[in-house]
Structure 1
Amino acid sequence: MGTHDDKTATCGTICIKYLLFLFNFLFWLAGGAVMAVGIWTLVEKSDYISLLSSSTYAASAYILIVAGGIVMVTGVLGCCATFKEKRRLLRVYFVLLLCIFLLEVVAGVLAYIYYQKLNDELKEHLQLTLVEKYKQPSEEHVTRAVDKLQQEFKCCGSSSYSDWTESRWVRSADAKGRAVPDSCCKTPSAGCGLRKHPSNIYNVEGGCITKLENFIQEHLKIISAVGIGIACVQIVGMVVTCCLYRDLKAEPY
C-alpha cells in the first residue's frame, strides 16, 4: 500500500516538475516581452516624455524594464530549482516571483493613477511648454518633441494653432514673421509657417492635447494589460511552486 502511494506521489511530483518547467519557459519569454515594451516606451517615445511635467509615465516604463529583467533571470533559476529539486532554490524562486508580482502591481497602480490625471496635466503643461520653451536655448529636446508631435499627429498648437500667438519664439525676430512653426504645415518646408490658413496648416478639433492624451492613454493600457497578464501567470506559478515544494523532501543541513 505504501509503495503504491510512493509511486503516486512520484508521478504527481514529476507532473508538477514538468508543468513548472513549461511555466518557466513561458515566463522567460514573457519577461522578454515586458522588457521590450518598457524599452520601446523609453526609446521610441522618449521625445514625448519631455513634454510631460511628471515622471510617472517614464517610471512605469522603467519598472517594466526592471521587472522584465528579473523575470528572465527568475525563469532560469526556476528551471534549475525544478530539475535539481532543491527546496532552498525553490524558496528563493518563490520570493523573486512575489517581488516581481509586487513590482507589476506598483506599475499598474501608477499607470492607473496617471491615466486619471493625464488630461489636467497636459492642459496645464503643454501650453506652457509651447509658449516658454519652443526654440529656446538649451531646450532643443523640447523643440524636437513638439515638431515631432505636430507632424506625427497632424495637429498644431496645444488646443489650436492660435496658441502660438503667445509663443516667445513667434514674437521674436528668430521666427522671421512665421505665425506658427513649419511643423504645423501639411506639407512642411522652410518658411511655410508664414501662412496660417487652414488649407496650409493642421487645424484639428482639440489640438495636440487631445492627440497626445489619446496616444498616452492607449500606451498606458498596453502597459497595464502586459502587467496584469504577467501577474496572473505568476499567481499560477507560485501555486505550482508551493505544490512542488510540499512534495519534495526536506534537505539535510
Structure 2
Amino acid sequence: MREYTEKKETCGTICLKYLLFIFNFFFWLAGGAVMAVGTWTLAEKSDYISLLSSSTYSATAYILVVAGVVVMVTGILGCCATFKERRNLLRVVRLWVSLGVLSLPGDLIPLVSSVQLSMELKQNLKNTMTQKYRKEGEESVTNAVDKLQQEFKCCGSNNYTDWADSVWIRSSEASGRKVPDSCCKTITDLCGRRDHPSNIYKENGCITKLENFIQEHLKIIGAVGISIACVQIFGMIFTCCLYRSLKPEPY
C-alpha cells in the first residue's frame, strides 16, 4: 500500500480535521476524568457497600471505569487517525465511538438504581446492622456501621432504639452497652452504656442520611456518564464527516 504524494484538501476538510483533532484531545482528557471518578468511588466511597444487599452501587463505579478507558482509547485513536488522515483508522475510531454510544443504557443505570437502593436500604439496613454488627466474619459490616454512625452523626437505622434488637447488644460481649460506642458524640470505652441525648446521637437515624449520600453520589456518576455518551454522539458525527471527506487509500 502506498501513500498519496499529493492531497488536495478543501478549506472545510482542513477545518474539520483540526476541529476533530482538538475534539479528540479533550475527549481523551474527559475519559481520564471519568475513569478517575470511577476509581475514586471504588477507593474512597465504597465503605458502605457491605451494608447493601446488592452490588448495584459498586457496579456503577466499575461501569464508569470501563467507560473511561474506552473513551481514552477512542481519543488516542481519534487523534492518530485525524493527524495521519487514514480512513482505515477512522473506521476503527467510528466503531469504538459507536460502542460508546451503545453504552448509554449503562450510563443510565445510576439514575434508575437510586430508586432501587432507596427501597433496599429501607428493607435491609436495620436487619444488617442488628444481625451482623460485631459478628465473626462480618468485620466489613462492623467497620462500615461504626464509620457510618460517626461520619453522619447518627445512631441506628431509624433511631437509637433499633439497637435494642441487636444480637450483639443483647449478648454479654456488649458489657452492658445500650448502643455501640460509635453512637457517642465523644467516643470513649463503654460510652455506649449511657443513652442520654447529651452522650449519643439519640434521635438521628442513619437510613435517611445514607440514602441521601448514595443518591447524590449516583446522580453525579449518572450525570458524568450521560455527558460522555452525548459527547460520543458528536464525536461519531465528526468522525463520519471527516471519513467521507477523505479520499480512499490506494492499494
Q: How much is the aligned-residue C-alpha RMSD, in angstroms?
A: 1.3
Report what 1:16 is aligned to.
16
In the TM superposition, what whole-angstrom CA distance separates every residue of 1:224-250 from its partner, at most 9, and x where no partner exists?
Answer: 110121112111111111110010011
| Contact kept? 2:195, 2:202, Cα under 8 Å | no
For 2:72 and 2:212, the matched residues in 1 are separated by: 32
Note the 1:49-64 alignment, pairs <5 A. Answer: 49-64=49-64
Report what 1:97 is aligned to.
97
For 1:53 and 1:213, the matched residues in 2 are separated by: 14
Amino acid at match of 1:233: V
- Where does the alignment leave 5 or more consecutive residues of structure 2 unmatched? 1-6
In the TM superposition, what whole-angstrom CA distance separates every residue of 1:205-226 from its partner, at most 9, and x where no partner exists?
Answer: 5x11100000001001101110
Q: What is the aligned length?
A: 245
| Contact kept? 2:108, 2:225, Cα under 8 Å | no
State the identity %: 67
Report what 1:69 is aligned to.
69
Report what 2:41 is aligned to.
41
| Contact kept? 1:64, 1:107, Cα under 8 Å | no
Change (3 A) 1:98 1:182: same
How far does residue 204 in structure 1 lie from its aligned partner after superposition? Answer: 3.8
Report what 2:186 is aligned to.
187
Note the 1:93-242 alignment, pairs <5 A. Answer: 93-103=93-103, 105-205=104-204, 207-242=205-240
How far does residue 201 in structure 1 lie from its aligned partner after superposition? Answer: 0.5
TM-score (norm 1): 0.93
In the TM superposition, what whole-angstrom CA distance separates every residue of 1:48-107 from its partner, at most 9, and x where no partner exists?
Answer: 11111111111110010011011111111111111111111111101111212222x233
For 1:194 and 1:102, the matched residues in 2 are separated by: 55
- Where does the alignment leave 5 or more consecutive residues of structure 1 unmatched? 1-5
For 1:79 and 1:112, the matched residues in 2 are separated by: 32
Deviating above 3 A after TM superposition, structure 1's stretches of 4 or more consecutive aligned residues are none
For 1:109 and 1:20, the matched residues in 2 are separated by: 27
